[in-house]
């Protein structure tokens, strides 16, 4: 039986299809409720997927996140609040459209161009990942070292306004990853003789803390601010979509391309993709003065962008084990648990599973059309879900989920501690994504650094002697100098 036939058999199984449908509903709900994010959906799904076979486990995350990123547009139109940070770039624009009586158009465009962007990103993922893996097979510890550093640096220097705070966040993540016995020397570090610490920190409770608990604390801090829903009639959301597609093909394509690229860049995901695409749309628009007054153009470009970023993030995650965004940072852990170890050989050792995941990407984006319409129709009911019930129930779910990973109360302690840390960090302008990236990549960074140093006997120049390693090294140093160049450029003007 061919690989593709095996992949089809893996996906079109009643159990898997049921999981996809349930995760779709979950993703739409989480995306539509402000304060619950796509990353949080992933973190909450992990304890449940823990007990599933590989394909449905991954399928549930792929489906839920795709749905959540689209559904984030719904409260933008109705409440002037982004459902997920990925919609924040065009929330005001979408709400302005609703105020002008064009809420239907804004919601429809959010849906249709999310699907187009998602399918575009998926196509790039399917084409690029196996090709990249061919090249990556020849990589040694030098290339991997530079790749990891490049990933960490682009998270810090390209994605955030204040690189200094980004570096602190990154170093904190690396420090957490250094705890325990799991290092090249097998030497206990920062363990204080404690058995839980010697095993190192399990990342999943930490992620539940940093992505879910911190978000819940923030949400509860605004519990006394009521949500006000805009009154709007929603009929056929597909009306006028064909005209828009014909009118803005360049914007759609540009958004999808930029989104996929930003997604594939480690550390930056759907939210940054949407901001950059919205800015780009305004810059190249023929009518930039209309932006901000309820103009659909930017919504189309940024809406395609954030969904394409989701698939783009899987490219480095699958090929190198380097997450492209915070969702895939969680996914990489799941892949290891399921025996689908990321790396270039995954396309040989686990080909049917990988192609099954690709199929799920396509299926999820197509399913988004009918389910998205249902979500838009049911939006008012979903947004009426009382927060005073929702938040406690989700929190108890987080507690049980953190416990379930190792069946240990230490998981709950980690969840609470890192939830508080993440909350304080974000309140003070320290981005959380670099810390997560540091925790996920710390071991890989150290391992490749130490073995390269031993191979080269301490000669730093050995890191630049192989052609690909050298190029990656120079690229990395260029990325690191971006803030400096920016400052020089500003001073020169």
Partner 1 sequence: MPGQKFGPAWFPGLIAIGLAICGALLVRAGLREHAPLFAMPQWMQRQRPRRAVATVLAGLVAYILLADALGFHITGVLILAVWMRALGASWRLTVAVSILSTLVIHLAFYKVLRVPLPWGVLERWAF
List, as one string, the DSSP characters of 373-399: HHHHHTHHHHHTS-HHHHHHHHHHHHH
Binding range to partner 1, per CB under 8 A, among 18-26, 147-155, 374-382, 383-391? 383-391
3-state helix, strand, coil in the chain (%, to 5): 75, 0, 25
Q: Which residues contact 83 (CB under 8 A, 6 or more apart)?
A: 31, 32, 33, 34, 36, 68, 71, 72, 73, 74, 75, 76
167 binds partner 1 per the rule CB under 8 A: yes
- When binding is defined by CB under 8 A, the residue of 17, 123, 220, 279 that contacts partner 1 is 220
Residues 19 and 56: beta-carbon distance below 8 Å? yes
The reply to whether 292 sits near partner 1 by the rule CB under 8 A is: no
Cβ atoms of 305 and 274 within 8 Å: the answer is yes
Helix 14-32 × helix 3-11 angle, to 10°: 60
CB of 283 to partner 1, least distance (A): 30
> Does 475 contact partner 1 by CB under 8 A?
no
For the bound state, the minimum distance from the C-beta of residue 223 to partner 1, rounded and expressed in Å, comes to 5
Q: Is 458 in the site for partner 1 (CB under 8 A)?
A: yes
224 is a site residue for partner 1 (CB under 8 A): yes
Contact 107, 95 (CB under 8 A): no
> What DSSP character marks residue 189?
B
Give least dist CB 85 to partner 1, A.
Answer: 19
Residue 393 binds partner 1 (CB under 8 A): yes
Determine which residue in the list 427, 484, 487, 488 makes contact with partner 1, applying CB under 8 A.
427
Binding partner 1 (rule: CB under 8 A), the pick from 17, 22, 168, 351 is 168
**Residue 234 within binding range of partner 1, rule CB under 8 A:** no
Task: Tell me which of 151, 258, 446, 472 binds partner 1, using CB under 8 A.
Answer: 446
Q: Under rule CB under 8 A, which residues in 16-55 are in contact with partner 1?
A: 47-48, 50-51
Minimum CB distance to partner 1 smaller for 202 or for 232: 202
Q: Considering only residues 123, 128, 175, 234, which one is a binding residue for partner 1 as defined by CB under 8 A?
A: 175
| Residue 104 interacts with partner 1 (CB under 8 A): yes or no | no
> Does 195 sit near partner 1 (CB under 8 A)?
no
In 46-173 the beta strands, taken as DSSP E runs, fall at none
Q: At its nearest, how many Å lie between partner 1 and the CB of residue 145?
A: 12
User: In angstroms, what CA-CA distances link 178 with 203, 335, 420?
Assistant: 12, 21, 21
Site string for partner 1, 398-417 (x = CB under 8 A): -xx--xx--x-x--xx--x-
Q: Are 329 and 207 in contact (CB under 8 A)?
A: yes
| Contact status: 450 vs partner 1 (CB under 8 A) | yes
State yes or no: residue 395 binds partner 1 (CB under 8 A).
yes
Q: CA 96, 97, 99, 102: dihedral to nearest 10 degrees?
A: 180
Binding partner 1 (rule: CB under 8 A), the pick from 9, 223, 250, 366 is 223
Minimum separation from the CB atom of position 183 to partner 1 (A): 6
Report the candidate in 197, 95, 135 with the shortest Cα–Cα distance to residue 467. 135
Binding of residue 439 to partner 1 (CB under 8 A): no
Beta strand spans in 170-248 (E): none
Q: Are 30 and 391 in contact (CB under 8 A)?
A: no
Separation of alpha carbons 448 and 265, rounded Å: 20
* Secondary structure element (H or E) that encloses residue 334, with its range: helix 326-337
Q: Is there binding between residue 253 and partner 1 (CB under 8 A)? A: no
**Interface with partner 1, residue 164, by CB under 8 A:** yes
Rounded-to-integer distance, Cα 260 and Cα 125, Å: 9
Strand partners, 189: 180
Binding-residue total with partner 1 (CB under 8 A): 55
Dist. CA 46–CA 25, nearest whole Å: 16
Q: Please tell me whether residue 448 binds partner 1 under the rule CB under 8 A.
A: no
Does 480 help bind partner 1 (rule: CB under 8 A)?
no
Residues of the shown chain interacting with partner 1 in the complex, contacts defined by CB under 8 A: 47-48, 50-51, 164-165, 167-168, 171-172, 174-175, 178, 183-185, 187, 189-190, 213, 216-217, 220-224, 386-389, 391-393, 395-397, 399-400, 403-404, 407, 409, 412-413, 416, 420, 427, 445-446, 449-450, 453-454, 458
């Amino acid at each position: 039986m061919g690989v593709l036939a095996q992949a089809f058999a893996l996906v079109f199984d009643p159990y898997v299809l049921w999981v996809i449908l349930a995760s779709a509903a979950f993703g739409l709900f989480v995306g539509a409720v402000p304060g619950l994010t796509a990353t949080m959906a992933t973190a909450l799904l992990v304890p449940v997927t823990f007990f599933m076979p590989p394909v449905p486990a991954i399928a549930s995350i792929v489906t839920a996140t795709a749905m959540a990123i689209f559904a984030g547009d719904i409260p933008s139109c109705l409440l002037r609040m982004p459902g997920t940070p990925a919609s924040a770039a065009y929330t005001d624009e979408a709400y302005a459209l609703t105020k002008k009586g064009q809420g239907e158009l804004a919601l429809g465009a959010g849906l249709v161009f999310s699907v187009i962007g998602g399918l575009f990103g998926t196509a790039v993922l399917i084409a690029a990942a196996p090709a990249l893996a061919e090249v990556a097979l020849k990589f040694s510890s030098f290339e991997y070292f530079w790749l990891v550093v490049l990933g960490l640096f682009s998270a810090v220097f390209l994605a955030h306004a204040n690189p200094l705070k980004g570096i602190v966040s990154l170093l904190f993540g690396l420090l957490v990853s250094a705890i325990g016995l799991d290092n090249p020397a097998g030497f206990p570090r920062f363990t204080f003789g404690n058995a839980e610490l010697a095993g190192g920190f399990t990342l999943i409770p930490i992620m539940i803390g940093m992505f879910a608990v911190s978000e819940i604390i923030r949400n509860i801090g605004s519990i006394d601010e009521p949500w006000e829903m805009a009154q709007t009639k929603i009929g056929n959301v597909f009306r006028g979509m064909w005209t828009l597609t014909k009118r803005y093909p360049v914007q759609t394509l540009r958004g999808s391309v930029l989104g996929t690229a930003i997604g594939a860049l480690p550390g930056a995901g759907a939210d940054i993709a949407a901001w950059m695409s919205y800015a780009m749309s305004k810059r190249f628009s023929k009518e930039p003065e209309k932006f901000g007054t309820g103009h659909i153009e930017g919504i189309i470009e940024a809406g395609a962008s954030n969904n394409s970023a989701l698939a783009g993030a899987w490219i480095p995650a699958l090929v190198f084990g380097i997450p492209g965004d915070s969702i895939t940072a969680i996914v990489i852990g799941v892949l290891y648990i399921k025996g689908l170890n990321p790396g270039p050989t995954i396309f040989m050792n686990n080909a049917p599973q990988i192609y099954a995941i690709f199929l799920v990407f396509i299926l999820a984006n197509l399913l988004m059309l009918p389910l998205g319409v249902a979500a838009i129709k049911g939006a008012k009911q979903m947004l009426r879900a009382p927060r005073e019930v929702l938040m406690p129930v989700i929190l108890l779910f987080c507690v049980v989920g953190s416990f379930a990973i190792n069946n240990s109360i230490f998981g709950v302690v980690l969840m609470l501690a890192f939830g508080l840390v993440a909350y304080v960090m974000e309140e003070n302008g320290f981005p959380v994504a670099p810390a997560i990236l540091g925790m996920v990549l710390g071991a890989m960074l150290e391992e490749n650094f130490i073995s390269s140093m031993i191979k080269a006997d301490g000669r730093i120049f050995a890191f630049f002697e192989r052609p690909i390693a050298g190029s990656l090294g120079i690229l990395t140093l260029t990325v690191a100098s971006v803030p400096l160049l920016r400052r020089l450029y500003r001073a020169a003007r």
